[in-house]
Amino acid sequence: MTREHLIKPVLDHHYPTIQYGKGVFLYDDQGKAYIDASSGAVTAGIGHGVQEIIDAMLEQAGKVSFVYRSQFTSEPAEKLAKKLSDLAPGQDYWAFFVNSGSEATETAMKIAIQHWQEKGRQGKNKVISRRMSYHGITMGALSMSGHVLRRRRFIPLLEDFPVVVPPYCYRCPLNKTFPDCKLACADDMETAIKRIGAEHIAAFIAEPIIGAAGGAIVPPEGYYKRIKEICDRNEILFIADEVMTGIARTGAMFGMQHYGVEPDLIALGKGMSAGYTPMAAALVKDHVMEPILKGSKSIMSGHTYSANPQSAAVSLAVLAYIEEHQLVRAAELKGSYLLGQMRQMADQIEIVGDVRGQGLLLAMEFVSNRTNKLPFPSELGITSRIIEKSFQKGLLVYPASGAVEGVGDAIIVAPPFVITEEEMDQLVRILDESIREVMAQVTR
């Protein structure tokens, strides 16, 4: 047997080789088709093999693929920065381009800290995040992440940033019920600020809808308005981590647009280039840039591939494709159809505790008992079993578990926005079968 060289996520697991993709389907070298109902890692929003993106890629490659950002700028990078500013909630943003969502959140964190430094407020350098969150795998991003499984190995190296409770109504961490709770989860921020002192806090970071750390957890009405009000009153910048929710995924171009809140900084990634090339960004509002423009006039961060013209051209083509094919609206309409179908299916399956989400960022949470919402013992690995079973049947769904000890066995269903009704029905049929088969195994 020949030895392997590529480090894959699980080293003793067999990963099929994908030969090509078209629309919502991926095809492996054995001829097996997979419905990509997770858009990979909630990334391939416009589907696979889109000719317009390939054309844009070739066109830019024919001009220039790389220029170093400390020497030159490029037309695609300039255009993309302007386009994102026009689309983002409240407009008037600057863009700092990076290559991954982790770099985007970490850059946003650094810019927030630099903002306060340039104002002479050196002590404001902590970032508050939520206990159930994922902001990336690099050390800074992981420091801001409340994802137990991903943090565990590196805890001694991570910043001990403060955390507040998530707006997780299905299992309220404060044992309250909306609306009687009067948004106590948002007020937990106020308590944390009083404890730490606003003079030590640069920013608060949150995913508009919690993704991998919980499974499409939609906040209760009024939550972000309250959060933003608390942030503003305490001079704390609000970073919206839109790496998963951004660029049409939730049926709005930006997730935060559902809540009528304008963040001070936004992290983008994944859907920005829909998987065609690595591309991500930290968007920064004018007022955050102001002291930097007056002060050092430079952001202390950056990567060799930042603002890469090749990726910027791809990202522009992805945004044009989304607009031309009205995919924001498609995500909204198809999302409500799919959510309805998933709920109808789940009604008949006892181990589905909750079906939730917005647009085409949907999830199902599994429980061993619906009434008391008792989770399955983690050794059972219910999420992995369902994902594996679906995979065998040619359906790809995404895990959202392991973020918080003892809760949240969930899968994310987030297909490309170009999925058809027939494909959604096929998706639900396979998922139904897979869950039932796993249920028969674990409740035997």
Residue 242 CA to residue 254 CA, distance in Å, equals: 7
Which strands sit side by side in the sheet containing 398-400, from one edge to the other?
352-358, 361-366, 410-413, 398-400
Q: Answer yes or no whether residue 131 interacts with ligand PLP by CB under 6 A.
A: no
The binder of ligand PLP chosen from 60, 105, 129, 310 (CB under 6 A)? 105
Contacts of 82 (CB under 8 A, 6+ apart): none
Q: Do 119 and 287 meet the contact criterion of CB atoms below 8 Å apart?
A: no
Kindly give the pairing relationship between strand 410-413 and strand 201-206. Answer: unpaired
Cβ neighbours for 357, distance < 8 A, ≥ 6 positions apart: 209, 216, 218, 335, 339, 363, 413
Helix (H/G/I), strand (E/B), else coil: 428: helix
Choose the binding region for ligand PLP from 11-19, 63-71, 239-247, 384-392 (rule: CB under 6 A): 239-247
126 binds ligand PLP (CB under 6 A): no
Among 113, 132, 212, 439, binds ligand PLP (CB under 6 A): 212
CB contact at 8 A, 375 and 442: no
Work out whether 168 is an interface residue with ligand PLP (CB under 6 A): no
Q: CB 211 → ligand PLP: shortest distance, Å?
A: 5
CB of 303 to ligand PLP, least distance (A): 12
Q: Give phi and psi for 396, each to the nearest 5.
A: -105, 120
Count of residues that interact with ligand PLP, criterion CB under 6 A: 16
Please, what is the end-to-end C-alpha distance for the chain in angstroms?
39
3-state secondary structure 258-281: HHCCCCCEEEECHHHCCCCCCCEE
Of the pair 21, 101, the CB lying nearest ligand PLP is at: 101
Is residue 162 within 8 Å of 143, Cβ to Cβ?
Answer: no
Interface characters, 267-306, with ligand PLP (x: CB under 6 A): --x-------------------------------------
Beta carbons of 240 and 208 less than 8 angstroms apart: yes
For ligand PLP, which is the closer residue by CB, 215 or 269? 269
Which of these ranges, 4-12, 94-102, 121-129, 179-187, lies near ligand PLP under the rule CB under 6 A?
94-102
Answer yes or no whether residue 207 interacts with ligand PLP by CB under 6 A: yes
């920064």: which residue's tokens? 284
* Distance of closest approach, residue 136 Cβ to ligand PLP, in angstroms: 4
Minimum distance from residue 85 beta carbon to ligand PLP (Å)? 21
- State the minimum distance, in angstroms, from the CB of residue 278 to ligand PLP: 8
Nearer to ligand PLP, 56 or 282 (CB): 282
Residue that is written with structure tokens 């009067």 in the block: 182
Residue nearest to ligand PLP (CB): 101
From 40, 136, 275, 309, residue interacting with ligand PLP (rule: CB under 6 A): 136
Among 87, 244, 289, 331, binds ligand PLP (CB under 6 A): 244
Tell me how far apart the alpha carbons of residues 413 and 355 are, in angstroms, rounded to a whole number. Answer: 10
Residues present in the chain in total: 444
Taking the C-alpha atoms of residue 293 and residue 444, their distance in angstroms, rounded to an integer, is 65
Site for ligand PLP contains 21 (CB under 6 A): no
Residue 241 makes contact with ligand PLP by CB under 6 A: yes
Within residues 35-54, the interface with ligand PLP by CB under 6 A covers 41
Q: Which one among 134, 224, 238, 254 touches ligand PLP, defined by CB under 6 A?
A: 134
Is 114 a binding residue for ligand PLP by CB under 6 A? The answer is no
Residue 265 touches ligand PLP, criterion: CB under 6 A:
no
Q: Among residues 210 and 428, whose Cβ is nearest to ligand PLP?
A: 210
d(CA 289, CA 30): 52
In the complex, the smallest distance separating the C-beta of residue 297 from ligand PLP, rounded to whole angstroms, is: 28
> In degrees to the nearest 10, what's the CA dihedral of 402, 340, 394, 327?
-90
Choose, by CB under 6 A, the member of 74, 85, 100, 368 that binds ligand PLP.
Answer: 100
Count CB neighbours of 192 within 10 A: 17
Q: Choose which of 48, 124, 135, 228 interacts with ligand PLP (CB under 6 A).
A: 135
Buried b (16+ CB within 10 A) or exposed e, 388-419: ebbeeeebbbbbbbbbbeebbbbbbbbbbbbb
Determine if 203 is a binding residue for ligand PLP (CB under 6 A). no
Q: Does 88 help bind ligand PLP (rule: CB under 6 A)?
A: no
Distance CA 360, CA 122 (A): 41
User: 367 vs 411, which CB is nearer to ligand PLP?
Assistant: 411
Which window, 12-20, 65-73, 204-212, 230-238, contacts ligand PLP (CB under 6 A)? 204-212
Q: Does the footprint of ligand PLP cover residue 101 (CB under 6 A)?
A: yes
Between 239 and 367, name the residue whose CB sits nearer to ligand PLP: 239
The residues that touch ligand PLP, with contacts defined as CB under 6 A, are 41, 100-102, 105, 134-137, 207, 211-212, 241, 243-244, 269
